[in-house]
Amino acid sequence: MPQNIPLKLPAVVWNGRYKAHAVPKQHPESSHRVDVILEALKKNKLLSEENGVCVWRKYSHGLRLCHSKAYVELVEKACASLNKGEVAFLPTGDVTIVRESFSVAQDAVSSVCLGIDLVMQGDFPSAFVVVRPPGHHAESEKGMGFCLFNNVAIGARYAQHAWGKSRVAIIDWDLHHGNGTEEIFLKDPSILYVSTHQRGIYPGTGQEEVRGKKGEHIINIPIEGGPSSRSALLDFYLNELPERLLEFKPELILISCGFDAHKLDPLGGFTLESEDYGEMTRALVKISASLSNCPIVSVLEGGYNLDALRESSVAHVLGFMH
């Protein structure tokens, strides 16, 4: 790893096969999402040979950290049964798959594990992992909502198993509730799961506000869509979340980084501006500094307007540098 990397420049991690997880034309979760993020970061000199890391190894054991053997085999067999170019739905839910999807989803998980390795080794203080398919809707035995495997959940377990971290916080600011992440960690107080999401939309979970009532480690904040959603989100992330994280004292912070709370996103009714993602990121960096520079790894989830993705991802990465 180069030794002349600026102190606060985050690693940007991706894998080279994300386009092989092909989806039908007009499907919102397309490879163009990753394309525009990487292009925007390069254009703004936030992605270069100094901090860009393309995955070069597979963490083959990672899937079983959060998913059952039966479910992993179901996904593998469902994908392997398809002819080249054939598109189908995963048997458990609304996830489009092709023959290559299982391998690409493994690469997404590997990207997260590599991002965690980079920050734990001290190579970078933070990392932005740009992957698809996304993950936070995937439960231990069920894929759904464009998600095959729960990238962030596996990352949390990986940090515990490989790096001995006893407390990991997952901050989920995707528009949708991460039902899969909550299901996987519902009875595990070593993981703090915090989700802000739009009330009354897919997947229909997390709609009752819970602030620590599930063993103090599951915090759901459903918010009504509309003009007031921006102030509600910013108030939570800037004023309420810091206290929760300082109480929990995580040794790693993971972000389920959906950009679909943006005002331009076609799937929801939140009204965040692009720069708000930078503001929320800076808030987490400030908290990290109060926690002995706790590493932060951000993992791409949703976000389906390409212009919003360009601007928000740049603001997000710049937020790590302040």
For the question of residue 176 being annotated catalytic, the response is no
Between CA 21 and CA 105 the distance in angstroms is 8
Between CA 204 and CA 213 the distance in angstroms is 19
Between CA 317 and CA 76 the distance in angstroms is 34
Residue 160 DSSP code: H
User: Following DSSP, what letter does each residue of 94-152 receive, concatenated?
Assistant: S-EE-TTHHHHHHHHHHHHHHHHHHHHTTS-SEEEE--SS--TT-BTTB-BTTBSS-HH
Between CA 60 and CA 301 the distance in angstroms is 21
Residue of 21, 67, 136, 137 with catalytic role:
137
> Do the Cβ atoms of 257 and 181 come closer than 8 Å?
no
Residue 70's SS3 state is helix
3-state helix/strand/coil string of 268-322: CCCCECHHHHHHHHHHHHHHHHHCCCCCEEEEECCCCCHHHHHHHHHHHHHHCCC
Rg (CA), the chain: 18
Residue 228's SS3 state is coil
Between CA 296 and CA 275 the distance in angstroms is 19
Q: Please identify every residue annotated as catalytic.
A: 137
